[in-house]
């Protein structure tokens, strides 16, 4: 087979608005700029494995470009693209360890590898962790297609014929699986009749069991985008859950479908969701923590006195430990009480703060713009202010209604809005630790990219 090229653009600065989320061809589409291109040759063998390496001097040029960009107040992404063919089943890129260390040690740039069959983005912190573990050893980043027949019966049922990939990161032939996580995009064409909101991403563990991870299908890029907490096997799956009281024309159809597919929420029975029913405090804390992948405390030693022994017990212990909730006083949580909007938004705010995922301000709205802002309790003001400015809470008829109760459908809508936008708008939001500008302002961003832009 003919050799494949790895095209590296050393610098690309631009101003303008984004062309959409990340994916196989890169994150956003710049509107103008000057590029310097260097080509590195790779090869594809008869088994469909494409391999390529990046010379140290090429990486050094990227580092120099990143430094110049950052000196001008711009943020940088070093991107390396492997141009694969239709026969490619796996792709592997090797980067000299000493050169990779220069990216991690002397810049705040993220590192993106577009391997055609998948794109992986390491934040600046992840790149630093990788460099520390690798030392001076060369770093190899590989993505390999997995034969679904080798998976467990459980995994095969949920995945079907959809793509499964094994992601590995090695240095000196030793696996580096824990480095702080990465953002991943896998190209995917939905099958006929598939509901986009029911397309999920699974982590396949060493014994063949599957676990849902945060991810969503991105219609703009034709990719499934997700956050991989570590490298292993990940698969595109499908899990459509239907309820008789959630019609396809209902405003909450997409949110409920999205949340149910990921087991963020279940129905009130095997066939009903009860969208208009009020949410209890216990139900909310479980939905919130499942949505963000916060594991319950397996063996709690310090829980609320009224935590009981039920589905929310261990979640309450973890929420208490993390400071997501302080309860209502006297070590009580009142899990069966209906939750108010200000209670809900406060716990949501604290969870996002713990995860370093508070939304950036996208509006100029202030609490004083709402006629009932004075009725917000002191403990909830920071939460309302942040979520209003972030466009998550918009109010109704000029009011925020802080003491009103929320329905199950409304809760699903809030989580859907936060999680789906976080994943689908991956280039702008999921890399929040890298990009501090809001999603509508890209004038100070620099992309050090590979491939056609």
Residue with the larger pLDDT of the pair 392 and 217 = 217
Length of the chain as a residue count: 453
> Of the candidates 240, 268, 291, which is a domain's last residue?
240
Burial class of residue 428, CB neighbours in 10 A (0-12, 13-18, 19+): buried
State how far the Cα of 249 lies from the Cα of 261, in Å rounded to an integer: 18
Q: Are residues 154 and 278 in the same domain?
A: no
pLDDT of 430 above 70: no
Q: Are residues 165 and 228 in the same domain?
A: yes
Reported confidence tier of residue 6, pLDDT bands at 50, 70, 90: very low
Whether residue 429 lies inside any domain: the answer is no
Q: Are residues 218 and 285 in the same domain?
A: no
Q: What is the pLDDT of residue 337?
A: 96
pLDDT tens digits, 372-429: 999 999 999 999 999 999 888 888 899 999 999 989 999 999 899 888 765 544 333 3
Query: Kind of pairing, strands 77-82 and 49-53?
Result: unpaired
Whether residue 78 lies inside any domain: the answer is yes
pLDDT tens digits, 314-326: 999 999 999 999 9
Percent of the chain with pLDDT over 90: 62
Whether residue 413 lies inside any domain: the answer is yes
State how far the Cα of 6 lies from the Cα of 18, in Å rounded to an integer: 24
pTM metric for this prediction:
0.80
Q: What is the pLDDT of residue 449?
A: 34
Residue with the larger pLDDT of the pair 41 and 245 = 245
Whether residue 19 lies inside any domain: the answer is yes
Q: What is the pLDDT of residue 422?
A: 57
**Rounded mean pLDDT of 120-145?**
94
Q: Are residues 269 and 131 in the same domain?
A: no
Query: Kind of pairing, strands 182-187 and 199-204?
Result: unpaired
Query: In the predicted model, what is the mean pLDDT of the chain?
Result: 83
Residue with the larger pLDDT of the pair 239 and 396 = 239
Q: Are residues 164 and 195 in the same domain?
A: yes
pLDDT of 291 above 70: yes
Whether residue 428 lies inside any domain: the answer is no
Whether residue 439 lies inside any domain: the answer is no
Q: Are residues 218 and 351 in the same domain?
A: no
Q: Which of 137-141, 382-386, 444-448 bottoms out in mean pLDDT, i.e. has the lowest?
A: 444-448
Reported confidence tier of residue 105, pLDDT bands at 50, 70, 90: very high
Residue ranges making up the domain that contains 156: 4-240
Q: Which of 12-26, 124-138, 251-265 bottoms out in mean pLDDT, i.e. has the lowest?
A: 12-26
Q: What is the pLDDT of residue 41?
A: 61
pLDDT of 452 above 60: no
Whether residue 360 lies inside any domain: the answer is yes
**Rounded mean pLDDT of 252-266?**
95
Reported confidence tier of residue 178, pLDDT bands at 50, 70, 90: confident
Q: What is the pLDDT of residue 116?
A: 87
**Rounded mean pLDDT of 11-16?**
31
pLDDT of 274 above 90: yes
pLDDT of 120 above 70: yes
Closest CA to 334 of 315, 321, 316: 316
Reported confidence tier of residue 57, pLDDT bands at 50, 70, 90: confident
Whether residue 246 lies inside any domain: the answer is no
pLDDT of 332 above 60: yes
> Of the candidates 240, 270, 289, which is a domain's last residue?
240
Q: Are residues 153 and 81 in the same domain?
A: yes
Phi-psi region of 218 (alpha: psi -120 to 50; beta: other; left: phi over 0): beta
Backbone φ, ψ for residue 152 (5° rounding): -70, 165
Total structural domains within the chain: 2
Q: Are residues 279 and 362 in the same domain?
A: yes
**Rounded mean pLDDT of 181-207?**
94
Q: What is the pLDDT of residue 31?
A: 28
Q: What is the pLDDT of residue 431?
A: 32
Closest CA to 127 of 105, 96, 143, 95: 105
pLDDT of 26 above 80: no
Q: Are residues 202 and 310 in the same domain?
A: no
Q: Are residues 84 and 207 in the same domain?
A: yes
Q: Are residues 212 and 272 in the same domain?
A: no
> Of the candidates 240, 269, 288, which is a domain's last residue?
240
pLDDT tens digits, 334-375: 999 999 999 999 999 999 999 888 988 888 899 999 999 999
Backbone φ, ψ for residue 225 (5° rounding): -110, 135
Backbone φ, ψ for residue 226 (5° rounding): -155, 170
Q: What is the pLDDT of residue 96?
A: 93
CB 302 within 8 A of CB 286: no
Q: Are residues 84 and 166 in the same domain?
A: yes
């Amino acid at each position: 087979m003919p050799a494949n090229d790895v095209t590296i653009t050393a610098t690309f600065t631009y101003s303008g608005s984004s062309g959409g989320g990340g994916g196989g061809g890169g994150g956003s589409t710049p509107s103008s700029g000057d590029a310097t291109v260097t080509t590195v040759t790779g090869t594809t063998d008869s088994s469909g494995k494409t391999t390529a390496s990046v010379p140290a001097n090429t990486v050094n040029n990227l580092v120099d470009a990143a430094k110049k960009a950052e000196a001008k107040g711009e943020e940088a992404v070093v991107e390396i693209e492997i141009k694969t063919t239709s026969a490619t089943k796996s792709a592997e890129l090797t980067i000299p360890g000493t050169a990779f260390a220069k990216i991690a040690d002397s810049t705040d740039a993220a590192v993106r590898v577009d391997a055609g069959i998948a794109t992986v983005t390491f934040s600046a912190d992840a790149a630093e962790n990788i460099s520390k573990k690798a030392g001076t050893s060369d770093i190899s980043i590989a993505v390999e297609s997995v034969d679904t027949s080798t998976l467990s019966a459980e995994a095969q049922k949920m995945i079907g014929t959809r793509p499964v990939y094994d992601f590995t990161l090695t240095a000196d032939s030793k696996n580096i699986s824990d480095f702080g996580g990465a953002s991943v995009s896998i190209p995917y064409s939905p099958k006929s009749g598939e509901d986009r909101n029911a397309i999920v991403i699974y982590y396949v563990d060493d014994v063949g069991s599957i676990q849902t991870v945060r991810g969503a299908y991105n219609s703009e890029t034709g990719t499934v985008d997700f956050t991989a907490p570590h490298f292993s096997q990940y698969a595109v799956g499908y899990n459509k859950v239907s309820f008789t009281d959630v019609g396809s024309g209902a405003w909450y159809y997409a949110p409920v479908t999205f949340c149910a597919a990921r087991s963020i929420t279940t129905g009130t029975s095997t066939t009903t969701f009860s969208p208009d029913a009020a949410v209890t405090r216990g139900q909310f804390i479980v939905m919130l923590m499942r949505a963000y992948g916060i594991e319950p405390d397996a063996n709690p030693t310090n829980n609320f006195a009224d935590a009981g022994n039920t589905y929310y017990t261990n979640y309450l212990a973890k929420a208490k430990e993390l400071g997501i909730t302080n309860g209502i006083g006297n070590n009580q949580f009142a899990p069966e009480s209906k939750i108010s909007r200000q209670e809900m938004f406060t716990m949501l705010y604290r969870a996002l703060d713990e995860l370093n995922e508070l939304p950036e301000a996208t509006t100029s709205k202030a609490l004083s713009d709402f006629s009932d802002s004075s009725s917000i309790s002191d403990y909830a003001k920071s939460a309302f202010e942040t979520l209003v400015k972030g466009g998550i809470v918009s109010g109704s008829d000029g009011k925020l209604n802080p003491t009103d109760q929320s329905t199950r459908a409304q809760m699903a809508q809030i989580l859907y809005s936060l999680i789906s936008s976080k994943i689908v708008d991956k280039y702008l939001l999921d890399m929040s630790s890298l990009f501090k500008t809001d999603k509508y302002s890209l004038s100070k961003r620099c992309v050090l990219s590979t491939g056609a832009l």
